[in-house]
Structure 1
Amino acid sequence: MRHRRNTTKLKRTASHRRSLLANLTCSLIEHGRIKTTLGKAKALRPVAEKMVTLAKRDDLHSRRLAIAFLRQKDAVKGLFEKVAPAAKDRQGGYIRITKLGPRPSDAAPMAIIEWVDRPVSTSDDAVEVAAEEVAAK
């Protein structure tokens, strides 16, 4: 039974898992949306949402905590200047996970993880529809 076991291990050691989640969070901050496996997306969601909650406080201590976890000052700057102001009125649920289907090579379930308050452009929608059509074939 998995009662009260909150951490998804992703078949990695604790240090490797922490680095992976920090790097995925930085990529999500930089690009706004990333395509990854469903397991990694589900493990990333609570980490990224905690970073947004830190950034919404917008004080020196929260900035230092974010730098300590992410280890990339550019990502922290983007988090505090772009992501947190867009989510200031939202009380949680900053991230959306969309399932894509299996990856062709190894049939791993894939997903797109993105910010809910991300501005959507028409070119992104066209690319997403095309990607889903290719995945369906």
Structure 2
Amino acid sequence: MLANMATSLVKHKRITTTLAKAKALRQYVEPLITKSKNDTTHSRRIVFSYLQDKEAVTILFREISEKVANRPGGYTRIIKLENRLGDNAEMAFIELVDYNEVYRKDGVAAERKSTRRRGGKKKSGAEAAATTAVEEVAEEPKAETQDEPVAEVASEQEAADVEEAATETEETPKEEEKEKED
């Protein structure tokens, strides 16, 4: 039973079972994951003798061992669920730690690190459109210094800057053409 559960855990990265089975599975599968860090024929044969599934051994040694290479232990996480309706058994799901995107530190930090400042990194078209729409909503008239809101003044200044840049680029070729004619 533990071999089948370990194979399912390796293939699916997360399984739901009773709490007692999850705790037993943790003790069964973590030494196998530790063995997978050393990719030798001997360690593959030892792991295969426990799992009895060639595909699971391949996944374990190729994908999982790369993700857990720097981790000293604790490859699985057990999260308790509600009791099962039929027999009131304590349920839990056991998962491989490095495959859950919800609890990853770098994934959460990347989402939270958005600023409301202008400029900075160049964004893709969809991100830039969404960001400008949010910024325009955020910059609605907080305080009106004159008859115009702050957002409209900023857009007029940007439009003037763009027009100046366009006229500068257009004037230089015309001046060069006049010099060539003389």
Q: TM-score, normalised by structure 2?
A: 0.55
The aligned counterpart of 1:96 is: 77
Sequence identity percentage: 47
- 1:61 paired with 2:46, answer no
Q: What residue number does 1:83 align with?
A: 64
Offset at 1:119?
4.3
1:12-65 Cα distance to aligned partner (Å, 9 max, x none) = xxxxxxxx1110000000000000000000000011101101100111100000
Pairwise CA distance, 1:80? 0.4
Structure 1 or 2: more helix by fraction: 2
Structure 1 position 41 matched with structure 2 position 22: yes
In structure 2, what is the equivalent of residue 107 of structure 1? 88
2:101 and 2:58 map into 1 onto residues whose CA distance is 22
Q: Highest relative contact order (Cα 8 Å, sep 6+), 1 or 2? A: 1
Give the letter for the 2:53 counterpart: Q
Name whichever of 65-74 and 112-121 sits farther off.
112-121
Asked if 1:120 is matched to 2:120, the reply is: no
Runs of 4+ in 1 over 6 A off after TM superposition: none
Amino acid at match of 2:6: T
CA distance in 2, matches of 1:60, 1:94: 22
Normalised to the residue count of structure 1, the TM-score between the two structures is 0.72
Gaps of 5+ in 1: 1-19, 122-137
Aligned-pair CA distance for 1:69: 1.1
**Higher Cα Rg: structure 1 or 2?**
2
> Which structure has the highest strand share of the two?
1
Structure-1 separation of matches of 2:93 and 2:100: 16
CA distance, structure 2, for counterparts of residue 78 and residue 97 of structure 1: 21
Alpha-carbon distance between aligned partners in 2 of 1:104 and 1:48, rounded to the nearest angstrom:
28
Letter in 2 for 1:74: E
Aligned length: 102
Residue 50 of structure 1 aligns with which residue? 31
Q: CA RMSD of the aligned region, Å?
A: 1.0
Secondary structure of 2:37's aligned partner: helix
Which residue identity lines up with residue 40 of structure 2 in the other structure?
A: D
State the Cα distance separating 1:112 from its structure 2 match: 0.6
Aligned equivalents of 2:79 and 2:98: distance in 1? 15
